[in-house]
């Protein structure tokens, strides 16, 4: 209500209108039927809020305001029967206090905060905050989202409040001083945060950024994706107000739930309009959020996995062209398919022109009709793939990061479309919150930067030797026995024996007793 207190379940009238688009915010929005929406209301019930506090001090000594705001918000949560935890973020992140309703212990943690002038391991801190709630980086529990009584329950209200006055620069591949400040030793990147869950349900993350230094765009994306909210503030004096708002959100009584048609899944944009009226008191609101509707695992048709960069200097262009052509012709239901080449947006500028090379080879060398597309930030949708016979999904140096894209590729393949996934990290599943196994049928071991006693990455140090196997498989026909050196890491994976056939293997140049690892794999159900 206007005082910031939770509205009782039996007071006033609450009305909502919801529409959804699976084709992005500029696509067509379809109203969600009113009879599939309801408001779950629970008075009482414990709320748990993890406080992730950045005290690296990019903007100077704001700590008095931060201490006051955090202490007041924690006190409000505990007063209403909830619990709070505390994670401190600076050059590394540490859990100061697990979930507790001990008001004195929480105040003690707050009193111990100080500006230490370090870097910012914010992503690690947010992950640790989720762990204090009993969660982890995990695949979505599709069953939990299909069971309305499980998903639409306000009995346990949880969230993460993440505050920063700076920019993430010391988690995962962002590390500046990781050797000296390793945190808990687990790397965390931005996409991991979208896959933080408790009991299979995504954890809402409420982000607060102070000043112009934080990456407000990324914080907004994270909050929107997880069902939280981002608040950008200019002055430390605003901390008390916004922290109080977050505590109110977590303690709120009304939860909106709805169901949508079962044949749609993946990335979606949802618009919610709501109104509340109680006598002369009325309120209205509007919110647009990005969500990912979990997809059931689909059995693909034919998929080719190529765990390397096609434009690597060790690979002759003619070999790359023949491999590309035969991969597409085998996977696709038609000869000379119309191809969509997708560049994963998670490339971090590492060999970002490799998908351009693939497109150019297909068009200029082979005469295919091929279109290059940038993967949207929210991932691919099935509609984006309509009109194509085959999709070549490329990320030369990083893993695929959007579950929606993986699901769209699986659905496209299951309907008979040809799929090629290509890049030397395309086998990775660890840390993604979802598994690549349904596409690759390979068990991920590690990223292969160190193998058989050699360090291999970025065409420096050691070299892999890739050999295309003999045999008459259409993907590698005429290429049997071709070998070349490859100076980048190749994911270390193991075949699962589910219909996949390894068509090329890699060993390490100059290493003895080195087990070969898969490089090119073709899957037939």
Mean pLDDT value across the chain: 82
Q: Let me know whether 238 and 114 are in one domain.
A: yes
Closest listed residue to residue 128, CA positions, set 210, 61, 193, 55: 193
Contacts of 82 (CB under 8 A, 6+ apart): 46, 47, 48, 49, 101, 157, 250, 251
Cβ 417 vs Cβ 391: under 8 Å: yes
Mean predicted confidence (pLDDT) in 125-146: 76
Tell whether the model's pLDDT for residue 139 goes beyond 70: no
Chain length of the chain: 525
Residue 193 main-chain phi, psi, to 5 deg: -65, -25
| Strand 37-41 versus strand 464-468 pairing type | unpaired
Q: Which of 311-325, 399-413, 426-440, 467-481 has the lowest mean pLDDT?
A: 426-440
Closest listed residue to residue 122, CA positions, set 78, 89, 95: 89
What is the Cα–Cα distance from 419 to 342, expressed in whole angstroms?
11
Tell whether the model's pLDDT for residue 521 goes beyond 90: yes
- Tell me how far apart the terminal alpha carbons of the chain are, to the nearest angstrom: 56
CATH number at residue 157: 3.40.50.410
Cβ 86 vs Cβ 97: under 8 Å: yes
Dump pLDDT digits (tens) for 110-130: 888 766 656 678 888 999 999
Mean predicted confidence (pLDDT) in 44-65: 76
In this predicted model, which residue has the larger pLDDT, 349 or 155? 349
328 in helix, strand or coil? helix
Cβ 13 vs Cβ 277: under 8 Å: yes
What is the Cα–Cα distance from 11 to 279, expressed in whole angstroms?
10
Mean predicted confidence (pLDDT) in 202-224: 88
CATH number at residue 348: 3.40.50.880
Question: Is residue 298 one of the residues assigned to a domain?
Answer: no
- Structure-token pair, residue 467: 């050999």
Tell whether the model's pLDDT for residue 377 goes beyond 70: yes
Q: Let me know whether 425 and 508 are in one domain.
A: yes
* pLDDT for res 176: 43
Mean predicted confidence (pLDDT) in 152-170: 75
**Residue 178 — very low, low, confident or very high, per pLDDT cuts 50/70/90?**
very low
Structural domain count, the chain: 3
What is the Cα–Cα distance from 317 to 324, expressed in whole angstroms?
10
**Residue 253 — very low, low, confident or very high, per pLDDT cuts 50/70/90?**
low
Q: Let me know whether 320 and 410 are in one domain.
A: yes
Mean predicted confidence (pLDDT) in 446-473: 86
Give the position of tokens 């990005």. Answer: 290
Tell whether the model's pLDDT for residue 44 goes beyond 70: no
Q: Where are the beta strands (DSSP E) in 25-135?
A: 30-31, 37-41, 47-54, 83-89, 93-100
Cβ 407 vs Cβ 384: under 8 Å: no
Question: Is residue 334 one of the residues assigned to a domain?
Answer: yes
Helix ranges (DSSP H) in 317-444: 317-331, 354-360, 403-414, 437-440
* pLDDT for res 26: 84
* pLDDT for res 185: 54
Q: Let me know whether 319 and 234 are in one domain.
A: no
Tell whether the model's pLDDT for residue 519 goes beyond 70: yes
Q: Which of 34-48, 241-255, 299-313, 466-480 has the lowest mean pLDDT?
A: 34-48
Q: Let me know whether 326 and 233 are in one domain.
A: no
Mean predicted confidence (pLDDT) in 234-254: 83
**Residue 177 — very low, low, confident or very high, per pLDDT cuts 50/70/90?**
very low
Mean predicted confidence (pLDDT) in 24-51: 76
Q: Let me know whether 200 and 336 are in one domain.
A: no
**Residue 258 — very low, low, confident or very high, per pLDDT cuts 50/70/90?**
low
465 in helix, strand or coil? strand
Question: Is residue 136 one of the residues assigned to a domain?
Answer: yes
Highest averaged pLDDT of the listed ranges 144-153, 219-228, 418-427: 418-427
Name the residue range of residue 146's domain.
44-252
Q: Let me know whether 352 and 405 are in one domain.
A: yes
Give the position of tokens 């498989």. Answer: 473
Question: Is residue 393 one of the residues assigned to a domain?
Answer: yes
Question: Is residue 180 one of the residues assigned to a domain?
Answer: yes
* pLDDT for res 191: 76
Q: Let me know whether 278 and 358 are in one domain.
A: no
Domain final residue pick, 293, 320, 342: 293
* pLDDT for res 83: 93
Contacts of 496 (CB under 8 A, 6+ apart): 437, 441, 442, 443
What is the Cα–Cα distance from 492 to 484, expressed in whole angstroms?
18
* pLDDT for res 457: 80
Tell whether the model's pLDDT for residue 238 goes beyond 80: yes
Tell whether the model's pLDDT for residue 375 goes beyond 70: yes
Q: Let me know whether 176 and 259 are in one domain.
A: no
Tell whether the model's pLDDT for residue 277 goes beyond 60: yes
Q: Which of 133-137, 145-149, 325-329, 395-399 has the lowest mean pLDDT?
A: 145-149
Question: Is residue 284 one of the residues assigned to a domain?
Answer: yes
Q: Which of 155-159, 190-194, 289-293, 521-525 has the lowest mean pLDDT?
A: 289-293
Q: Let me know whether 383 and 369 are in one domain.
A: yes
Dump pLDDT digits (tens) for 288-335: 776 766 655 555 678 999 999 999 999 999 999 999 999 999 999 888
Q: Let me know whether 282 and 364 are in one domain.
A: no
* pLDDT for res 470: 81
Question: Is residue 340 one of the residues assigned to a domain?
Answer: yes
* pLDDT for res 202: 81
Q: Let me know whether 409 and 286 are in one domain.
A: no
């Amino acid at each position: 209500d206007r005082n910031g207190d939770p509205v009782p379940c039996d007071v006033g009238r609450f009305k909502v209108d919801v529409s959804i688009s699976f084709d992005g915010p500029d696509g067509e929005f379809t109203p969600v039927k009113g009879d599939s929406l309801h408001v779950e209301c629970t008075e009482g019930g414990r709320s748990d809020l993890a406080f992730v506090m950045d005290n690296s001090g990019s903007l100077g000594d704001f700590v008095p305001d931060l201490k006051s705001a955090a202490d007041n918000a924690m006190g409000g949560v505990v007063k209403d029967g909830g619990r709070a935890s505390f994670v401190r973020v600076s050059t590394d992140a540490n859990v100061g206090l697990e979930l507790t309703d001990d008001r004195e212990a929480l105040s003690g943690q707050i009193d111990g905060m100080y500006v230490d002038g370090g870097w910012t391991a914010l992503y690690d801190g947010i992950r640790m905050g989720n762990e204090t709630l009993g969660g982890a980086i995990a695949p979505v529990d599709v069953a939990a989202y299909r069971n309305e009584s499980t998903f639409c329950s306000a009995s346990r209200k949880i969230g993460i409040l993440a505050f920063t006055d700076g920019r993430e620069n010391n988690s995962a591949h962002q590390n500046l001083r990781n050797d000296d400040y390793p945190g808990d030793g687990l790397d965390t990147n931005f996409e991991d945060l979208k896959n933080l869950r408790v009991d299979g349900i995504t954890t809402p993350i409420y982000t607060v950024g102070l000043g112009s230094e934080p990456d407000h765009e990324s914080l907004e994306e994270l909050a929107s994706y997880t069902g939280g909210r981002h608040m950008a503030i200019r002055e430390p004096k605003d901390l008390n107000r916004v922290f109080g708002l977050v505590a109110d959100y977590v303690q709120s009584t009304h939860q909106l739930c709805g169901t949508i048609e079962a044949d749609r899944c993946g990335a979606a944009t949802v618009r919610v309009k709501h109104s509340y009226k109680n006598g002369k008191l009325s309120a209205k609101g509007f919110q647009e959020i990005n969500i990912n509707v979990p997809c059931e695992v689909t059995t693909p048709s034919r998929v080719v996995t190529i765990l390397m960069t096609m434009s690597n200097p060790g690979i002759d262009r003619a070999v790359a062209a023949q491999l590309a052509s035969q991969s597409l012709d085998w996977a696709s239901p038609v000869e000379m398919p119309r191809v969509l080449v997708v560049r994963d947006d998670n490339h971090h500028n590492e060999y970002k022109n490799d998908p351009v090379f693939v497109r150019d080879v297909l068009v200029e060398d082979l005469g295919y009709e091929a279109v290059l597309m940038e993967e949207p930030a929210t991932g691919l949708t099935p509609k984006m793939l309509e009109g194509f016979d085959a999709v070549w999904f490329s990320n030369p140096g990083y893993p695929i990061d959007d579950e929606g894209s993986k699901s769209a590729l699986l659905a496209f393949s299951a309907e008979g479309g040809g799929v090629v996934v290509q890049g030397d990290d395309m086998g990775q599943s660890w840390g993604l919150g979802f598994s690549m196994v349904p596409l690759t049928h390979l068990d991920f071991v590690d990223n292969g930067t160190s193998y058989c006693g050699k360090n291999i990455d970025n065409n420096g140090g050691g070299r892999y030797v890739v050999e295309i196997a003999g045999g008459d498989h259409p993907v590698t026909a005429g290429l049997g026995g071709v070998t070349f050196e490859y100076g980048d890491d190749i994911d270390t994976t193991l075949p699962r024996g589910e219909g996949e056939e390894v068509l090329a293997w890699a060993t390490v140049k100059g290493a003895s007793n080195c087990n070969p690892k898969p490089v090119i794999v073709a899957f037939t159900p």
